[in-house]
Amino acid sequence: MGRKEAASDTTGAGTFLWGSGPVLVGILNVTPDSFSDGGTFLDPEAAADHAAAMLDEGAGIIDVGGESTRPGSDPVPQDEEIKRVVPVIERTLAARPEALISVDTYRSKTAAAALQAGARLVNDVTALGGDPEMSSVVAEAGCPVILMHMQGEPKTMQKEPGYEDVVREVRDYLAQRVEHAVAAGINRENIVLDPGIGFGKTLEHNLVLLRNLDAIVDLGFPVLVGASRKRFIGTITGVQQALDRVSGTVATTVLAYERGATLFRVHDVRPNREALAIAEAVLRTSHR
């Protein structure tokens, strides 16, 4: 049997914004300490230029984040997070008014400020659990939201992650967060799910989740995968420098697409777009 039709083909969550094919979500970390690009885009002008470059390379969404959530990272004060992301959103939209921007935050005030500045999605690595006001900010904005699974919190999540059945537990958690979101007034059509690769997961957990991604896709929502340049890719390939983990990332993108994911959060837009174009062409070719 071929690839299952992606959930977004049927549920249409957010598809009014980004269409039903695979979508590249270009990562824009406005932080001094992100694991692979920390410090590179702290200057709003450099950040906006990078956003424009990723759009030119085929990003459908630009995900702007002002706090690193890499393993071991510390939270930044909310005001600082807002000061980082808002000018970048404003500059990006001044240059590229059509850009679809998401804000990578779990804080409601940052989300509200970003939405006010023109962001149109919220990417919440705590699946609305990190800030009691986040659900109502998203519900009132009526915008799409990415709900991600994480075990623990960034500071300590990689210490000793443990599951009885990682696929079942991640799927059940996401299903439960969907119900929380819906109860808070968020439209089902606006929900995207993410297994949270690398967030409180061992190498084995990441691999099992990628292998069994269809269990998450079966929940009926578009699925986003964020594996870009992550440590498990370096562990497998031996590539120590995060910047150089492009080929390994591309492999995860193609495999996840084949299993039904439709959104891919990546640093390197062009190679992932080219690989997806080939994957799409092959997978859409009908049997002889």
Active site positions, annotated: 230, 265
Considering only residues 192 through 211, tell me which ones interact with ligand HH2, judged by CB under 6 A: 194, 196-197
User: CA 267 to CA 59: how far, in whole Å?
Assistant: 10
User: CA 170 to CA 111: how far, in whole Å?
Assistant: 25
The single residue among 30, 54, 100, 104 that binds ligand HH2, judged by CB under 6 A, is 104
Q: Which stretch binds ligand HH2 (CB under 6 A): 31-39, 160-168, 207-215, 243-251?
A: 31-39
The answer to whether residue 92 forms part of the interface with ligand HH2 (CB under 6 A) is no
User: CA 147 to CA 140: how far, in whole Å?
Assistant: 17
CA dihedral 35, 39, 256, 144 (to 10 degrees): 120
The answer to whether residue 123 forms part of the interface with ligand HH2 (CB under 6 A) is yes
The answer to whether residue 261 forms part of the interface with ligand HH2 (CB under 6 A) is no
Pick from 171, 111, 174, 175: which is nearest to 143 by CA? 111
The answer to whether residue 245 forms part of the interface with ligand HH2 (CB under 6 A) is no
Nearer to ligand HH2, 31 or 151 (CB): 31
The answer to whether residue 36 forms part of the interface with ligand HH2 (CB under 6 A) is yes
The answer to whether residue 268 forms part of the interface with ligand HH2 (CB under 6 A) is no
Alpha helices in 15-131 (DSSP H): 15-18, 44-57, 78-95, 108-116
The answer to whether residue 35 forms part of the interface with ligand HH2 (CB under 6 A) is yes
> In the complex, what is the shortest distance from the CB of residue 115 to ligand HH2, in angstroms, rounded to a whole number?
17
The binding track of 137-156 with respect to ligand HH2, each residue x by CB under 6 A or -, is ---------x-x--------
Please report the beta strands in the chain, taking only residues with DSSP state E, as ranges in sequence order: 23-29, 61-65, 101-104, 121-124, 145-148, 191-194, 224-225, 263-266
245 close to 239: Cβ distance less than 8 angstroms: yes
User: CA 139 to CA 144: how far, in whole Å?
Assistant: 9
| Strand-pair partners of 9 | none
The answer to whether residue 224 forms part of the interface with ligand HH2 (CB under 6 A) is yes
* Contact residues for ligand HH2, defined by CB under 6 A: 27, 29, 31, 34-36, 65, 68-70, 104, 123, 125, 146, 148, 194, 196-197, 224, 226, 265
